[in-house]
Amino acid sequence: MRTILLTLLVSVPVTAAIDFVKDVYPVLDRAGCANCHKDTGVASPTRLHFPEEKVSTEELQGFGLSLKTFVDAAAPEKSLLSNKPTQRVPHAGGRRIQPGSPDEKLLREWAAYLAVTDVSKLKAMRRTDRLSTSGPVLRRLTHAQYNNTVRDLLGDSSRLADQFPPEDFVNGFRNQYQSQSTSPMLAESYATAAEKLARKAFLSGDAQNLIPCKPRRFDDSACQDRFLREFGRKAFRRPLEDAEIARYGKVFSAEAAARKQFAAGAQVVVEVMLQSPNFLLRTENGRDPKFRQYEIASQLSYFLWNSMPDDTLLKAAAAGELGTAAGVEMQARRMLASPKAREAVDEFIAEWIRFDRLSGTVRERRQYPQFTNELVVAMIEETRRMVSHLVWDKGNFMEFFSGAYTYVNGDLAKLYKVPAPKEDYGRVELPPQTQRAGILGQSSFLTMTSKPGETSPTSRGLAIREQFLCQEVPQPPPGVNTNLPAITKDRPMTQRERLSVHLANEGCASCHRLIDPIGLGLEKFDAIGGFRPKLVLNIQPARGERGTPATTVELELNTNGEIAGVKDSAFSSPRELGIILANTLQCQQCVVKQLFRWCSGRHEKPADRLIIDRTFDDFAKSGFQFQELMVALAKWSIHPPALSGKVQ
């Protein structure tokens, strides 16, 4: 669904000698302009925004006319429209169109046409339709949600889903619904887990009080009906319909009669329900209005708790109390007081920061003998502790980037060369000479964006663009050689010198100049996050030089960096970069977008802009308190500002 429609009024016909859609747009498409000039592109802060993919011809024509903004009417040949992509005018994206080529000629012709054409009647029509109104969305429980739901439903903390087939990361998260297919292996895992969980639930009688009544005999129909309705309401997160009660009642009765035990009937129903799509999937914006309130309850609980709704939330749904933004806000604030909200934030941070990359990383033992599994655990805990402080102590969340303090144990304190706290993971202030601040100065980030034996400025710059600015950098062209020049004793080089090969190739430079200068500003921190004033290279002898000792070389480090597209963004340390990010609108908005992606299970669309903008406004007005961000996103994603009427 599209939200910004550029439509040409009939009184403004396109009479150019060339056609924008057939002739000019393919030029821009071949140049890859849309890769950067889109809502999630690295050039998103600029004035030029390409329309969504697969738009109509009329919309493309409207977009073509809107390019008059970049045309110099008095001197069309000097227009940014043609001089930026050819790099006749400095362009952060590099040369995308060869000067003097037929493609440049077409752009110049279009600029000349726009220079003399009145397009003032071009009308931008904005709609705020929700993307989800096009139909119901089915979302599968993630493995973490499955474990949490089983815990809250059955009182079982065995975390069987940890043994399920691994989930893929899409858009930085595991819960994106376009990747949530159910493979035969996963279906088999669900069946096996359901059998184990149901058997365990009644192994020692009804220890978890799943049966809400005391049956007088194995075929007590009244107690059976009550069990089906109450357990089914929790398992399916909505009331069961009469047809469902009858169907599960037959399953219950047959098993209870065969084994002469009421609990046997309950056990088989639990096993069957745990394999039902009504348990494993949840619907958003379904077509049955009588369940809409319960869908909202699930939407709210799996966002704020990463688990099923509790009785209070289900009762609020039954009473119709979630049909307004105020009703949702009241429940959201209640839910944030639960320990389950802390677990949900932990899961969000783990996926956003990609702790999984840390857990599986390795390092060259001779270079980094202090790198152990225990140190990795400490790195993750340091980041968790800082987030916990900012979220639950109601701090300014942008200190996640700029905060000149951290939470370390003895091992990390030694690595950081700061005094160890009195207790593990106590708060430690970071003096200016450490050059550290926030996540960018923490070993977790610096390690996961490095290689086993050396840093990777490209990986560090890319991570900052994608994770903290929400900007997508185009993939390298197929077949490109990504190998850097080898370091030898005759030619020792810093990473800056080695990466200069990227800038020598125009096909590489257009992207690498957007990411490498960011990572190069962090070069005084090694592949496990330790500070190094100089680069010390221990160059091993080449083959055939057996017996020759290793050569040690010290090189000066130039750590001047910048973020192309961000004004006044020169820096030379994580501390300086963190302050820049904390005060940059793109970074502040990216925090909102990342939480939106995790909350909604999908990438944001133009149709979501109103929701994200309103959520960001509330976040900023609160002094960037993360709890207020969660409340605002819960409220506005369920009841968008322009559509926040009563839900029927």
How far apart are alpha carbons 263 and 508 in whole angstroms?
A: 66
Q: Does residue 9 carry a pLDDT above 50?
A: no
Q: pTM here?
A: 0.85
Q: Which is more confident, 286 or 334?
A: 334
Q: Which two tokens stand for residue 440?
A: 């960018």
Percent of the chain with pLDDT over 70: 92
Q: Does residue 224 carry a pLDDT above 90?
A: yes
Q: What is the pLDDT of residues 15-34, one digit of tens each?
A: 445 788 888 888 888 888 88
586 and 469 Cβ atoms separated by less than 8 Å: yes
User: How many C-beta atoms lie closer than 10 Å to residue 401's C-beta?
Assistant: 26
Q: How confident is the model at residue 177 (pLDDT cuts 50, 70, 90)?
A: confident
Least confident window among 123-127, 166-170, 216-220, 227-231: 123-127
Residue-wise DSSP of 517-566 = HHHHTTTTB-TTS-B-SSEEEEEPPPTT-TTPPPEEEEE-----B--TTS
Q: Does residue 5 carry a pLDDT above 60?
A: no
Helical H segments across 39-159, by residue range: 57-66, 80-83, 102-115, 143-154
| Positive or negative torsion for Cα 272, 275, 277, 279 | positive
49 and 80 Cβ atoms separated by less than 8 Å: no
Q: What is the pLDDT of residues 431-451, one digit of tens each?
A: 999 999 999 999 999 999 999
Which residues have CB under 8 Å from 350's CB, separation 6+?
A: 356, 380
Q: What are the sequence ranges of the domains in the chain?
A: 4-126, 137-287, 352-582
| Positive or negative torsion for Cα 339, 342, 347, 348 | positive
Q: How confident is the model at residue 131 (pLDDT cuts 50, 70, 90)?
A: very low
The radius of gyration computed from the CA coordinates of the chain, to the nearest angstrom, equals: 29
Which residues have CB under 8 Å from 166's CB, separation 6+?
A: none
Using DSSP, state whether 125 is helix, strand or coil: strand
Look at residues 599, 605, 635 and name the one whose alpha carbon lies nearest to residue 617: 635
466 and 171 Cβ atoms separated by less than 8 Å: no
User: How many C-beta atoms lie closer than 10 Å to residue 374's C-beta?
Assistant: 11
Residue-wise DSSP of 361-405 = ----TTT-TT--HHHHHHHHHHHHHHHHHHHHTT--TTHHHH-SE
Average pLDDT rounded to a whole number, residues 51-62: 77
**Can you give the pLDDT at residue 119?**
62
**Can you give the pLDDT at residue 120?**
58
Average pLDDT rounded to a whole number, residues 234-254: 97
One-letter amino acid of 591: V
Q: Does residue 510 carry a pLDDT above 80?
A: no
Q: Does residue 1 carry a pLDDT above 70?
A: no
Which residues have CB under 8 Å from 475's CB, separation 6+?
A: none
51 and 4 Cβ atoms separated by less than 8 Å: yes
Q: How confident is the model at residue 545 (pLDDT cuts 50, 70, 90)?
A: low
User: How many C-beta atoms lie closer than 10 Å to residue 229's C-beta?
Assistant: 15
User: How many C-beta atoms lie closer than 10 Å to residue 189's C-beta?
Assistant: 19
**Can you give the pLDDT at residue 13?**
36
Q: What is the pLDDT of residues 489-503, one digit of tens each?
A: 889 999 999 998 877
How far apart are alpha carbons 336 and 318 in whole angstroms?
A: 21
**Can you give the pLDDT at residue 643?**
55
Mean pLDDT score of the chain: 89
**Can you give the pLDDT at residue 117?**
74
Residue 447: which H helix or E strand, with range?
helix 443-448
User: How many C-beta atoms lie closer than 10 Å to residue 448's C-beta?
Assistant: 23
How far apart are alpha carbons 69 and 80 in whole angstroms?
A: 9
How far apart are alpha carbons 412 and 145 in whole angstroms?
A: 32
How far apart are alpha carbons 141 and 74 in whole angstroms?
A: 59
Write the Ramachandran bin of 33: left for phi over 0, alpha for psi from -120 to 50, otherwise beta: alpha
Look at residues 394, 392, 395, 279 and name the one whose alpha carbon lies nearest to residue 338: 392
273 and 231 Cβ atoms separated by less than 8 Å: yes
